Amino acid sequence: MNKKLMAVAVAGALAVPGVALAQSSTVQIGGSLTAFYYKHDANNPGLAQSGDILETSEPELFVRGEEKLGGGLSFWFQCTSSLDGMIGGSAAAQGMCGRNSGLGFRGSFGNIFAGNWDTPQKLVMNRARGWFGSTNSVTGGTGRLMFGNGPSGVSNPVQSMVSSTTTTPVIGGVSTIVTTAGSGTAMSNTPAGFARRQANSWNYHSPNWSGFSVNASYSADNESTGRPEASLLDPRLYSIGGAFSSGPFLVALAYEKHDDYNPGNATVGVAAGNYSGGSDDNWTLVGGFKFATFDLRAMYSQTTYDVHIGGDLKTKGFGLYADWAIAGPHTLRAQYVQQDDTSGSSVLNASPYIGPLRGNSCGALSNVTCATSTGAKLWSLVYSYAFSKRTEGSVIYTKLDNDSNAAFSLGKVSAIAGTSQTSAGVAVKHRF
């Protein structure tokens, strides 16, 4: 059943005596399924064995509705929910509307909505990575290397008035265990991460003006109810992105800013008490070109973390992506992602969960050489066969190589500095 017929069927099923659906209202149901079966070697024998993994990757079911109000104006809603429980069972299932979901108005002016939605910075990244995942352990990597993972369905960092202990992976470093006293400065919601799906956000998506479009968003300050008036911190996210696409050419640029996202550094390390607010920001640039049967994209990203007074931490990297539609149902795909050495004057990791071994084994002040050999490289090769327009199977190989002082991982098990991790297997993707 195609989506248009399904929309009609749903509308008919919803009609009950005494209640009439407006003829200008439509409801649509659809989604996608992705499943992987692969061999994963974390190269960390103290914590993990090399083994086979069967899992889904961001399968979803969406329900969309729209009512035309006249004069070109419409009200719409979307609820997109995870279907991870299809293979992973109840433990993997997530709540309703946990993926891109929202409600708002659209017309000739564009689309204004409130929701739990990918930020413009993430939408620009998505234009580059295309088929490849952002953070999954067999086709992902871009999000983990460049953006401090890819937080999904999260709001601004939350301050807590009680003590807490957290274990969090870092970029270019070992996993960090931090115990924070009940001082009102603990946080959650992956404060160091960009490429976010931001909850409690206002969003604007422009129309397409002869190939040019603009997206913008900012986060509401729901966290204010748990923050005393005396606090100097006011966490907030701002994101804007623009793109121009015409014929074979694509250019897109995004800027995202996080205000007061690192309160944990007020109680950590030599800079304890030195964090009274700051801004982290990211620039992401994407270019693309299509010719014949090739689709080529490139991305450059630079992030600066305002970690504490008098110190910042900078990371940058790039990604290259290519799709080659060989003939008929056959496609070859490749990605190469590189994160460069960190730089900056900080003696702490951001949040303090990001950066190389700074603030961990390098020691609080001996950070002069900590930024050397803290990068990583990831590459993937994929052969795909399209069984139909909606169903595709793939064979995948991915390898992540860490520099001697870096400990990036593919997301299953924390890495040992200077080692490699690999994933190799098969995948199936289906849209309905």
Q: What is the pLDDT of residue 41?
A: 97
- Return the higher-pLDDT residue of 215 and 261: 215
Whether 16 maps to a domain, the answer reads no
**Mean pLDDT (whole number) for 135-161:** 85
Lowest mean pLDDT among 49-63, 158-172, 196-210: 158-172
Q: What is the pLDDT of residue 191?
A: 82
Q: What is the pLDDT of residue 15?
A: 44
Q: What is the pTM of this model?
A: 0.85
Whether 148 maps to a domain, the answer reads yes
Tokens of 13: 């099923």
Tokens of 297: 């994209």
Whether 13 maps to a domain, the answer reads no
- Reply yes or no: is the peptide bond before residue 352 cis, omega within 30 of 0: yes
CA–CA separation, 255 and 268 (whole Å): 29
Distances (CA, A) of 358 to 279, 343, 348, 373: 20, 11, 6, 12
**Mean pLDDT (whole number) for 163-174:** 39
**Mean pLDDT (whole number) for 80-89:** 91
Helix, strand, coil abundance in the chain, percent, nearest 5: 10, 50, 40
pLDDT at 3 over 90: no
**Mean pLDDT (whole number) for 4-25:** 49
CATH classification of the domain holding 302: 2.40.160.10
pLDDT band with cut points at 50, 70 and 90 for residue 190: confident
Q: What is the pLDDT of residue 421?
A: 97
Contacts for 56 with CB less than 8 Å, ≥ 6 apart: 33, 34, 35, 36, 83, 84, 86, 87, 88, 92
Could you tell me what percent of the chain has a pLDDT over 90?
60
Rounded to 5 degrees, φ, ψ at 126 are: -60, -30
Q: Mind listing the pLDDT tens digit for each residue in 368-396? A: 345 678 889 999 999 999 999 999 999 99
pLDDT at 330 over 90: yes
Which residue range(s) make up the domain with 421? 26-431
Query: Mean pLDDT across the chain, nearest whole number?
Result: 83
Whether 9 maps to a domain, the answer reads no
Tokens of 157: 């960092």
Lowest mean pLDDT among 131-135, 183-187, 348-352: 183-187
Q: Rank 20-24, 89-93, 301-305, 425-429 by mean pLDDT and report only the highest.
A: 425-429
**Mean pLDDT (whole number) for 314-339:** 96
Q: What is the pLDDT of residue 91?
A: 67
pLDDT at 30 over 50: yes
Q: What is the pLDDT of residue 94?
A: 67
Q: What is the pLDDT of residue 355?
A: 41
Q: What is the pLDDT of residue 348?
A: 62
**Mean pLDDT (whole number) for 328-347:** 90
Distances (CA, A) of 213 to 109, 254, 305: 12, 12, 28
pLDDT band with cut points at 50, 70 and 90 for residue 225: confident
pLDDT at 176 over 50: no
Q: Mind listing the pLDDT tens digit for each residue in 271-295? A: 445 566 789 999 999 999 999 999 9
Q: What is the pLDDT of residue 250?
A: 98
- Total tally of structural domains belonging to the chain: 1
Whether 77 maps to a domain, the answer reads yes
Whether 19 maps to a domain, the answer reads no
pLDDT at 400 over 80: yes
Helix (H, G, I), strand (E, B) or coil at 136: coil
Q: What is the pLDDT of residue 297?
A: 98
Q: What is the pLDDT of residue 312?
A: 79
Q: What is the pLDDT of residue 192?
A: 83
pLDDT at 334 over 50: yes
Whether 7 maps to a domain, the answer reads no
If phi > 0 it is left, if psi is from -120 to 50 it is alpha, else beta; for residue 131 that is alpha
Whether 3 maps to a domain, the answer reads no
